[in-house]
Amino acid sequence: MSTPFQKSVLVFGATGKQGSAAIDALLAGANKDNLPLNILAVTRDRTSRGSQALAQKSNVSIIEGDLANVESIFDQATADGRPVWGVFGVQVNSPDEEKQGKSLVTVSAARGVQHFVYASGDRGGPERSEADPTFVKNFAAKFSIEKHLQKLAATSRQDMTYTILRPVTFFENMTDDIHGKGFARMWEQMGSRKPLQLISTIDIGFFAAQAFLHPDEHRNMAITLVGDELTQPQAEVIFKELVGSSMPMVPCTVGSAVKFFKKDTVGDMFRWFENNGYGGDVVACRKIYPEMMDYRTWLENCSPFIQSRASR
Ligand SMILES: NC(=O)c1ccc[n+]([C@@H]2O[C@H](COP(=O)([O-])OP(=O)(O)OC[C@H]3O[C@@H](n4cnc5c(N)ncnc54)[C@H](OP(=O)(O)O)[C@@H]3O)[C@@H](O)[C@H]2O)c1
C-alpha cells in the first residue's frame, strides 16, 4: 500500500506571533484530520529559544535562512527531494518589506509551490484593500506584494493558488512594557469617536491553518480578520473590571512625540486609523469561527496583565 503524500509547508516568521500561531493551529488541525504534514519552520537562528521550542514539536523541522536569500531557503527545504507544497509568507516592517515579500512570491511560484498563504493587513475592508495602497508605507508594501502574488499565481505553470489574510491591529501590541504602554497611549489619543478594530494573532493562526487544510475553499481569496472593535475608553472599562487598575500607558507627551518622530510609520498609521480605518466585519468573522476572541476574552486568557497578576 502506498503511503499518502506528505505535504510540506514552509512557514516564515515561524518564531514570531503569526507564524508560530499558524504552526500550532496547523499541527492541531492536521492531527485532528489525520493528515500527513511536514512543517519547515524558517528562522535566522536555529539556536534561539524560540527555534529550539519549535524543534521539539513533532513534524516540525527547522530551516535556517534569511528572507534576503529565499533561494537558499528553498534549496534546504527541498534537499531531501520533497517539493514545498505550501508557503506561509510574512515579513516584518522594514524598508525591505516589499522587496522581501515579492522575492518570496517569485521564488515560490518558480519552485512549484501549490498554495501560498500571505499574512498581509487590512486597508479598509475588502473593496478598498484591493484598490487603495494607502499613505501608510507598510500598508502600501503589502498592497504591492498582494498584487505581485495575484499576478504570479495567475501565470504560474502549476496554477499556484493563494489566500490573503488581512488582519487588523493585534491585541498582542498590548504588552506591559514600554511598547505596549506607548500603544495604549496612542490608542487613548484617538479618543472616543472612532473605534479601533483588533484581533488576536492566535486567531490569525486558525485562519492560516484552515487555508492550508482546506485550500479549495480558500482558493484565490482575501479575507479581513477582526475579532472586536472598540475605543480605548471602552477597553479601559473592561481592563479595570478584569485587572483592577487602569491600562498602563506612557505620558501623553511621549505618545505624541513617538507619532511625530516616527511620522512615516507609527504617526501615519494612527492618522490612518483616525481618518480612514479598518473595514472588517466582526460578526461575519465570528460566524466562520465562533471561538474568535474579543478583547475581554483575550485579556482574560492571553494577555500578560492577568497572567502577571496571577503569578504575583
Ligand atoms: N502589530 C500589528 O498590530 C499588526 C497588524 C496587522 C499586520 N501586521 C503585520 O504583521 C507583520 C509582522 O508579523 P508578526 O507580528 O507575526 O511578526 P513578529 O512576531 O515580529 O515575528 C517576525 C519573525 O520574522 C522573522 N524574521 C525577521 N526578519 C527576518 C528575515 N530577514 N528573514 C527571515 N525571517 C525574519 C523573525 O524570526 P527569527 O528571529 O527567528 O529569524 C521573527 O520571529 C508585519 O508585516 C506587520 O505589519 C501587524
Q: Strands, E, within 226-291: which ranges?
A: 228-230
Q: Whose CA is nearest to atom 1 of ligand 1?
A: 170
The 10 Å CB-count burial string (b at 16+, else e) for 34-60 is eeebbbbbbbeeeeeeebeebeeeeeb
| 228 grid coordinates | 472586536
Sorted by sequence, the CB contacts under 8 Å of residue 30 that are 6+ apart come out as 36, 37, 59, 213
144 C-alpha to center of ligand 1: Å? Answer: 18
Which atom of ligand 1 is closest in space to residue 51's alpha carbon?
40
What's the CA gap between 183 and 291, in Å, rounded? 26
Q: What are the DSSP calls for 116-142, one per residue?
A: EEEE---SSSHHHHHH---S-HHHHHH
Task: Report mean pLDDT in 10-residue bins for the chain, 312 residues.
Answer: 74 98 96 90 98 96 98 97 97 97 98 98 98 98 98 98 98 97 98 95 98 97 98 98 97 96 96 97 97 98 79 42
| pLDDT for 33 | 86
Q: Strands, E, within the chain: which ranges?
A: 7-11, 37-43, 60-64, 86-89, 115-119, 161-167, 169-170, 196-199, 221-225, 228-230
Which atom of ligand 1 is closest in space to residue 67's alpha carbon?
32
What's the CA gap between 100 and 296, in Å, rounded? 36
| pLDDT for 6 | 85
- The residues that bridge with 225 in the sheet, in sequence order, are 167
Which atom of ligand 1 is closest in space to residue 169's alpha carbon?
3
What's the CA gap between 81 and 6, in Å, rounded? 12
| pLDDT for 310 | 47
Q: Strands, E, within 140-195: which ranges?
A: 161-167, 169-170
Residue 273: HSE in the Cβ half-sphere, 13 Å Cα cutoff: 28
| 275 grid coordinates | 481618518
What's the CA gap between 76 and 97, in Å, rounded? 23
Q: Whose CA is nearest to atom 26 of ligand 1?
A: 13
Is the CB of residue 103 below 6 angstroms from any atom belonging to ligand 1? no
Which atom of ligand 1 is closest in space to residue 120's alpha carbon?
7
Is the CB of residue 55 below 6 angstroms from any atom belonging to ligand 1? no
Domains of the chain: 7-173+198-227+280-293 (3.40.50.720)
Q: Give the 3-state secondary structure of residue 229.
A: strand
If one counts every other C-beta atom within 10 angstroms of the C-beta of residue 142, the result is 27
Q: Give the residue, out of 73, 92, 166, with the most ligand 1 atoms within 8 A of its beta carbon, to mutate for a pocket test.
A: 92
Is the CB of residue 22 below 6 angstroms from any atom belonging to ligand 1? no
Give the DSSP letter of residue 247. P
